[in-house]
Chain A
Amino acid sequence: MRGTKRDWKPLIYVGLTLSSLIVIIPILWMFSTSIKTLEETFSIPPRWIPLSPTLDNYINIWKNYPLARYFFNSIFVVSVSTIISLAFSCLAGYGVSRFRFAGKGAFLTFLLATQMFPSIMLLIPYFKLMRTFGLINTYTGLILVYISFTIPFCSWMMLGYFEGIPKELDDAALIDGCNRLRTFLSIILPLTLPGLVATAIYSFLVGWNEYMFALVLTTTTEMKTVAVGIGELIGQYRIAWNDMMTVSILASIPLAIVFLFLQKYLINSLTAGAVKQ
């Protein structure tokens, strides 16, 4: 029986290597383009290693496009919405895991159901409401959109983590004279740190990636996020592919960093819900 298993291995390596190539080639091509001069991006046949590799693009794009502004906007909006979303989700997750109350199941279903709505249904009403309240081209507008996207799933994620912490700890703290909020803040919350981290990453990923709402709710260059900003480089400037690929790499770096360090937490908690049922 062990023999049959070993026979599969070469085939598995071939399969995994081929698939990895399909993943890596576009990424390497993106990097290769980003260190080319504009002339060389148009060389036929295409060259993998540029004749005169240069890091100029990485310096010049900051001068040529309002990139610093886009990055600031994204980082600010996504960070604030992550913090708010985390705070509300922790409270909700803790509340659901530690209290019994009428409508608890309905509340959880309600959160899940909001995830299933096609977000495009919200696009037009948001546009109108944001205009009515003067929130077009404001950070507040985008933050509101992003917390509404992330709170449901983050609450479910946090619920999962709180459920994993024995309720006896709460009881002990309550007997020792802590009130509920203090028990939550100083005893239980610190124990869910991995969960907090995973939930924060999830929320960050969602906001950093979001494109459609930012496209509609921001119209001025000063307020655009990275996603919208780089999407628009294609239309507004002549297509300098080397610049474009450089910007693409920079826009992916925050996610890559976050992910590299914390992928274990994120994958565990994203899949936990699906597997545990």
Chain B
Amino acid sequence: MGERLRTANRRELGGYLFIFPAFLVMLMLVIYPLIYGGYISLFNTNLMARWNLVGLKYYLRILTDSVFWSKIRITISFTFWTVLGHFILGMVLALMLNVKIPGRAVFRAILLTPWLFPEVVVALVWKWLYNPMYGLINHFLVQLHVIAAPISWLGSPSAALPAVIIAAIWKGYPLIMVMLLAGLQAIPQELYEAAQIDGASPIQAFRYITLPGLRYVLVVSLILDTVWWFKHFTIIWVLTQGGPVDATNVISIDIYKTAFEYFRFGEAASMAVIVFFICFLFGYGYRRMLGDEGN
């Protein structure tokens, strides 16, 4: 009995020893800073000498500020169209790549490439494509007579957000495509054969076999993609820095500017906490909507 207890304890201890380094790192580098960020949000501070306790003042101010909500609206709109684009493209391409045709591997490799360019590089390339004078996009559109003269895509408040979204879709769809493709390949082929025998149309097969089969992959990738792009910073920052006139001022850029350009660290920290809760709500909402398989 004692012997068994001792081996049991040794087994437990071994597990703790193995996970300890990772656990400690996460505790020190994620949990502690997170809590500390919440602490900073309660102060009017320059992070140096000035630490004036303001309590929940920033939260109240931010939540009742229409400017904040308009930035949230921009962020939601950016996230919504970007994620929608990822899923439409990702789904269509995954379905096409799931058919066994010659050259499939080549197409898959090409269609994956945007994923392996660093975000900054993607932003730079699109900035060059959008260039008002010498950009390729203006050139194409003028040649096709879609527009009469070159447009400053990133310089006009109405065009900047769509322009940024297109770059974000280009960068991000491959991951969704790969996930959905893996999901498709995990669906047993026999199901489709059975459906065909029963006389199901391709659309019915998609509706009753493919979609349910992809459900788990869809939930996971939808949550991750939404959270990733909701807090996205790099591409928008390099393309527009939030401009023109706040047209692309998504919440992460606003937090960055509030902290590191205006040095209102406490206020920026409380905005970050609010973003945290919004991301949390997204995840929760999706799970409720799509069923509770995602845990």
Contacts and interface: CB of A to CB of B under 8 A. Distances in A.
A associates with B: yes
Interface of A: 1, 4-5, 8-9, 12-13, 15-16, 19-20, 22-27, 29-30, 33, 41-46, 87-89, 91-92, 94-96, 98-102, 104, 107, 110-111, 114, 116-129, 131, 144-145, 147-148, 151-152, 155, 180, 184, 205, 208-209, 211-212, 216, 226-228, 230-231, 234, 241, 244-245, 248, 251-252, 255-256, 259, 263, 267, 270-272, 274-275, 277
B101 A9 contact: yes
Contact of B259 (A92, A98, A123): A123
Contact of B118 (A27, A251, A271): A251
Nearest to B233: A212
Secondary structure at chain A's binding surface: helix, strand, loop or mixed? helix
B15 A104 contact: yes
Interface string B281-295: 001000000000100
Contacts of B12: 99-102
B249 interface: no
A228 B67 CA distance: 29
Could you say which interface size class chain B belongs to? 35 or more
Q: Which of A41, A42, A45, A271 has the most CB of B within 10 A?
A: A271
A34 to B, nearest CB: 11
B71 to A, nearest CB: 13
A277 B214 CA distance: 11
Interface in B122-143: 123-129, 131, 133-134, 136, 139, 143
B178 A270 contact: yes
A196 to B, nearest CB: 16
A180 B255 CA distance: 47
B260 interface: yes
Nearest to B186: A275
Contacts of A1: 196
B211 interface: no
Given A144-B29, A227-B120, A251-B121, A92 B23 contact: yes
A261 B182 CA distance: 20
B36 interface: yes
Contacts of B29: 144-145, 147-148
A144 B32 CA distance: 13
